[in-house]
Amino acid sequence: EKDADNTKPILDTIPPTIQIISPEPETILIGTVKIEINADDNNTLHSVEFYIRKLYPLGVWDDSLIFTDFDKPYEYDWNTENYENGDYVLTVIAYDDANNLTTSITSYYIDNYYIIPCIIETSTDTESFSLYDFIDQEWILHCLYKDDIMQGVTNSNKPVSITFRSEFLDGSGGCNNYNGGYEENNGNRVNIEVWGWTRMYCTTPQDQMQQEHYFLTNLLPKVRTYHISYEQLVLFDRKGKEILLLYLAIDN
Q: How far apart are the first and last CA of the chain?
A: 64
Nearest to 160 by CA among 228, 208, 227: 208
Q: How far apart are CA 216 and CA 222, in angstroms?
A: 10
Segment 131-151, tens digit of pLDDT:
999 999 999 999 998 877 788
Enumerate the CATH 2.40.128.270 domain ranges in the chain, comma separated.
Answer: 131-248
Q: How far apart are CA 115 and CA 226, in angstroms?
A: 25
Can you identify the CATH homologous superfamily of domain 17-110?
Answer: Immunoglobulins (2.60.40.10)
Q: How far apart are CA 201 and CA 245, in angstroms?
A: 25
Nearest to 145 by CA among 114, 117, 123: 117
Q: How far apart are CA 33 and CA 69, in angstroms?
A: 16
The alpha carbon dihedral of 183, 133, 197, 240 has a sign of negative
Segment 26-85, tens digit of pLDDT:
888 888 899 999 999 999 999 999 999 987 655 555 678 999 999 999 999 998 888 877
| Residue 234: CB atoms within 10 Å | 19
Spatial neighbors of 116 by CB under 8 A, at least 6 apart, are: 151, 152
| pLDDT for residue 185 | 86
Q: How far apart are CA 156 and CA 154, in angstroms?
A: 6
Fold of 131-248: Lipocalin (2.40.128)
pLDDT of 223 over the 80 cut: yes
Spatial neighbors of 10 by CB under 8 A, at least 6 apart, are: 1, 2, 3
Position with higher pLDDT, 177 vs 110: 177
| Beta strand pairing call for 28-29 and 101-110 | parallel
What residues does 75 pair with on adjacent strands? Answer: 36
The alpha carbon dihedral of 78, 84, 86, 89 has a sign of negative
Segment 75-129, tens digit of pLDDT:
999 988 888 778 899 999 999 999 999 999 999 988 775 555 676 666 555 567 8
> What mean pLDDT is reported for the chain?
86
- Interval 216-222 mean pLDDT: 96
| Residue 221: CB atoms within 10 Å | 13
Share of the chain above pLDDT 90, in %: 58
Q: Is the peptide bond before 23 cis (omega within 30 degrees of 0)?
A: yes
| pLDDT for residue 155 | 63
| Stretch among 127-131, 201-205, 231-235 having the lowest mean pLDDT | 201-205
Enumerate the CATH 2.60.40.10 domain ranges in the chain, comma separated.
Answer: 17-110
- Interval 158-186 mean pLDDT: 94
